[in-house]
Structure 1
Amino acid sequence: MEKDISRPETLSARERQIAEAFSGGDTYQAIAERLCIAPSTVRTHLTTIYRKLGVSSKLDLHRHLRNAGGSDLPDKAPPRPDKPSIAVLAFENMSGDPEQEYFSDGITEDIITALSRSPWLFIIARNTTFTYKGQNVDIRRVATELGVRFVLEGSVRRAGERIRVTAQLIDGLSGGHVWSERYDGQLEDVFDLQDEITRNVVASIQTRVHLTTIEEPVERSTRPDLTVWELTMRAWHLLYDFTPQSFDTARGLLHRALALDPVSAEATMVLSLIQHHTALMGYAEDARATITEAYELGRRATELDERNEYAHWAFGISGWGLHKHDESIVALQRAVELNPNCSLAYGSLGTALGLVGRSEEAIANQQIAIRSNPRDPSIFFRFSGIALAHYMAGRFDAAVEWAARAIHRMPRWYIGHFILTASHVQAGRLPEAQEAVRACLEVLPEMTVADLDRMPLKDADRMGEFRACLQRAGLPER
Structure 2
Amino acid sequence: MERRLSAILAADVVGYSALMEQDEAGTFDRLRARRTELFEPEIAGHHGRVFKLMGDGLLAEFGSVVDAVECAVSLQRGMAERNASVAEEERLNVRIGINLGEVIMDGDDRYGEGVNVAARLEQLAPPGGICVSGKVAKEVENKLAFAFDSAGQRKVKNIEELVDVYYVRIDTSPRRRLPHKRGIGRSWWVLGVAAAIVAVVAAWMALYYPLTASSPAVSSAIPSVAVLPFKDLSADKSLGYLGEGVANDVIAILSRFADIAVVSRTSSFAYEDKEGDVRQIGKELGVGYVVEGSVRKEGDRVRIVAELIDAQTGGHIWADRFDKAGTDPWALQDELTGKIVGAMTGEWGAIRKADYSQAWGKDSTNLAEYDYYLRAESQLNLFTKEGLERSGDISQQGLQVFPDSPLLTVELGWSHWMKVGLLYSSDPQADLQDADRLADKVLSNKNLSPQVARLAHWLRAWLLTLKGDHDGAVAEMNKAIAAAPYNAFTLTDAGSIFLQAGQPEKALELTDSAAARDPGLSWFFNYVRGFIFIVLGRNEDAVEVLKTTEFADAPLQLAIAYMRLGRQADARAAVEKMLKSTPAATIQSWRQAWNFRDPSILDQAAADLARAGLPSGRAQ
Structure 2 match to 1:431: 569
AA aligned opposite 2:543: V
Secondary structure in 1 matching 2:204:
coil
Distance 2:476 2:512 in 1: 20
**Which residue of structure 1 lines up, in the alignment, with residue 418 of structure 2?**
277
| Range that drifts further, 306-315 or 263-272 | 306-315
Shift of the alpha carbon at 1:242? 1.4
After TM superposition, the structure 1 = structure 2 runs for residues 268-417 of structure 1, keeping only pairs within 5 Å, are 268-304=409-445, 305=448, 307=450, 308-375=453-520, 380-407=523-550, 410=551, 413=552, 415-417=553-555
Q: Residues 299, 393 of structure 1: CA spacing in aligned structure 2 closer, same or farther, 3 A cutoff?
A: same
Q: 1:96 to 1:392 in 2, by over 3 A?
A: closer
Conserved in 2, the CA contact under 8 Å of 1:346 and 1:365? yes
Report the equivalent of 2:396: 255
Could you tell me how far apart the structure 2 residues matched to 1:96 and 1:226 are? Answer: 41
Q: What SS does the aligned partner of 1:406 have? A: coil
> Is the partner of 1:81 in helix, strand or coil?
helix
Q: Greater CA radius of gyration, 1 or 2?
A: 2
How has the CA–CA distance of structure 1 residues 297 and 95 changed in structure 2, closer, same or farther, with 3 Å as cutoff?
closer
Q: Secondary structure at the match of 1:474?
A: coil
Shift of 1:430: 2.0
CA distance in 1, matches of 2:578, 2:208: 52
Q: Aligned ranges for residues 156-305 of structure 1 at < 5 Å?
A: 166-171=288-293, 227-304=368-445, 305=448
Deviation at 1:323, TM superposition (A): 3.1
Shift of 1:465: 0.8
- The 8 Å contact of residues 298 and 318 in structure 1, kept in 2 or not, is answered as no
CA 1:473–1:180: 2 relative to 1, 3 Å: farther
Residue 468 of structure 1 corresponds to 607
More helix by share: 1
* One-letter amino acid matched to 2:393: G
Stretch of structure 1 that moved more, 391-400 or 338-347: 338-347
Contact 1:351 1:362 in 2 (8 A): yes
Contact 1:254 1:271 in 2 (8 A): yes
Question: Do structure 1's residue 444 and structure 2's residue 582 form an aligned pair?
Answer: yes
| Alignment correspondent of 1:81 | 189
**How big is the shift at 1:96?**
6.7
Verify the 8 A CA contact 1:265 1:301 in the aligned structure 2: yes
Contact 1:357 1:393 in 2 (8 A): no
Change (3 A) 1:444 1:246: closer
Take 1:453 and 1:178, find their aligned partners in 2: how far apart are those partners? Answer: 45
Structure 2 CA distance for partners of 1:120 and 1:165, relative to 1, 3 Å: closer
Which blocks of at least 5 consecutive residues in structure 1 are unaligned? 1-40, 46-78, 98-105, 112-117, 125-153, 155-163, 183-201, 207-224
- Aligned residues of 1:420 and 1:433 also touching (Cα < 8 A): yes
Q: Deviations over 1:324-349 (max 9, x none)?
A: 33322211111112321233321121
Which amino acid counterpart does residue 615 of structure 2 have in structure 1? P
1:51 alignment partner in structure 2 = none
Equivalent residue number for residue 10 of structure 1? none
Change (3 A) 1:357 1:319: same
Secondary structure in structure 2 of the residue aligned to 1:354: helix
| In structure 2, distance between residues paired with 1:283 and 1:252 | 16
Return the alpha-carbon distance in structure 2 between the equivalents of residues 122 and 402 of structure 1.
26
Task: Kindly provide the CA deviation profile for residues 277-330 of structure 1, in whole angstroms up to 9, marking residues without a partner as x.
Answer: 122222222111101211221232233227422221122223343333332221
Structure 1 residue 232, shift from structure 2 partner: 0.6
Question: Aligned pair 1:90/2:226, yes or no?
Answer: no
* Unaligned ranges ≥5, structure 2: 1-181, 213-220, 227-246, 254-278, 280-285, 296-303, 313-351, 357-365
Asked if the contact 1:266/1:311 (under 8 Å) is kept, the reply is no
DSSP-derived class of the 1:230 partner:
helix
Tell whether the 8 Å contact from 1:279 to 1:291 is kept in structure 2 after alignment: yes
Change (3 A) 1:232 1:395: same
Instruction: Tell me, in whole angstroms, the C-alpha distance in 1 between the residues paired with 2:580 and 2:595.
Output: 26
**Structure 1 residues 372, 396: CA separation in 2 closer, same or farther (over 3 Å shift)?**
same
TM superposition shift of 1:374 = 4.1
Partner of 1:256: helix, strand, or coil? helix
Q: Distance in 2 between matches of 1:122 and 1:240?
A: 15
Q: Separation in 2 of the partners of 1:96 and 1:447?
A: 53
Aligned to 2:59: none
Whether the aligned pair in 2 keeps the contact of 1:238 and 1:247 (CA below 8 Å) is yes
The CA distance in 1 between the partners of 2:508 and 2:523, in whole Å, is 14
1:422–1:469 CA contact under 8 A, matched in 2: yes
Could you tell me the TM-score, scaled by structure 2's length? 0.43
Contact 1:357–1:392 (CA<8 Å) still a contact in 2?
no
What code does the residue aligned with 1:457 have? Answer: N
Deviation at 1:107, TM superposition (A): 7.4
- Return closer, same or farther for 1:437/1:334 CA change in 2, 3 Å cut-off: same
AA partner of residue 349 (structure 1): A
> What is the identity, as a one-letter code, of the residue corresponding to 1:229?
Y
Q: Quickly say closer, same or farther: Cα 1:446–1:365, change in 2 above 3 A.
A: same
- Give the superposed CA RMSD: 4.1
Give the direction of change, closer, same or farther, for the CA distance of 1:428–1:95 in structure 2 (3 Å limit).
Answer: closer
Task: Count matched residues.
Answer: 305
Say if 2:410 and 2:456, in contact at 8 Å, map to a contact too: yes
Shift of the 426–229 alpha-carbon distance from structure 1 to 2, 3 Å rule, reads: same
- The CA deviation at 1:424 is 1.2
CA deviation vs aligned residue, 1:94-114 (integer Å, no higher than 9, x gap): 7679xxxxxxxx979x99xxx
Inter-partner Cα distance in structure 2 for 1:254 and 1:230? 10
Q: Which amino acid aligns with 2:607?
A: A
CA distance 1:424–1:345, shift in 2 (3 Å)? same
SS at match of 2:289: strand
Distance in 1, matches of 2:403 and 2:386, equals: 24
Residue-by-residue CA offset, 1:45-78 (whole Å, 9 max, x unaligned): 9xxxxxxxxxxxxxxxxxxxxxxxxxxxxxxxxx
**TM-score (normalised: structure 1):** 0.55
1:455 and 2:593 aligned:
yes
Aligned partners of 1:242 and 1:301: how far apart in 2?
23
Q: 1:418 to 1:181 in 2, by over 3 A?
A: farther
